[in-house]
A and B are shown apart, each in its own frame.
Chain A
Amino acid sequence: MERKHFLKSLFAGAITAPALLTACGKDDVTPSSTTTTTTTGGTTTTSSGSCTVIPTETEGPYPTHTPSSYVRSDIREDRTGYALTIKINVTNTAANCAALSGALVDIWHCDKDGNYSEYASGLTNVHFLRGRQTTDTNGQVTFTSIFPGWYQGRATHIHVHIFTSSGTSLKIAQIAFPEGTGSAVLAVNGYSKGLTGYTYYTKDNIFNDDSTGSEIATVTGTTTDGFVLTITLPVAA
Chain B
Amino acid sequence: MQPRRIILCYRKLLDAQAVHPWDKLVVSDSYRELRLQAQYFNPQNQYRTFGELLYHVPAAERLHGLVGGAVVGYLRQLNGLVPDVADNLGRRFLKFENFRFELINSDLHDPSQHRVAINFFTEPLFWHESIPPFLLVSTTEPEATSGEQLTHLLQLQPFLSIHALLPSAP
Contacts and interface: CB of A to CB of B under 8 A. Distances in A.
A41 B73 contact: no
A72 B13 CA distance: 28
A63 interface: yes
Interface in A63-97: 63, 65-70
A70 B33 CA distance: 10
A37 B157 contact: no
Contacts of B17: 39
A54 B90 contact: yes
A33 B108 CA distance: 29
B75 A55 contact: no
A126 interface: yes
Given A39-B17, A63-B22, A104-B36, A126 B72 contact: yes
B98 interface: yes
B94 to A, nearest CB: 11
Given A26-B132, A47-B158, A120 B101 contact: yes
B39 interface: yes
B39 to A, nearest CB: 4
B90 A56 contact: yes
Contacts of A163: 36, 39
Contacts of A127: 65-66, 69
B40 A172 contact: yes
Contacts of B20: 39-43
A55 B84 contact: yes
A29 B99 CA distance: 27
Contacts of A67: 73
B69 A44 contact: no
B141 interface: no
A124 to B, nearest CB: 9
B54 to A, nearest CB: 16
How many interface residues does chain A have, given as a range? 35 or more
B84 A42 contact: yes
B97 interface: yes
A52 B89 CA distance: 11
B18 A31 contact: no
A39 B65 contact: no
A43 B83 CA distance: 9
A119 B73 contact: no
B136 interface: no
A52 B155 contact: yes
B7 interface: no
Interface of B: 12-15, 17-23, 25, 29, 32-33, 35-36, 39-40, 43, 62, 64-66, 68-80, 83-92, 97-101, 132-133, 155-159
28 contacts: A26-B132, A26-B133, A29-B133, A31-B157, A32-B158, A35-B158, A39-B13, A39-B14, A41-B19, A41-B84, A42-B20, A45-B86, A46-B13, A46-B157, A46-B158, A49-B157, A55-B85, A55-B91, A61-B22, A63-B22, A66-B25, A67-B73, A68-B32, A106-B36, A119-B68, A123-B72, A123-B99, A161-B39
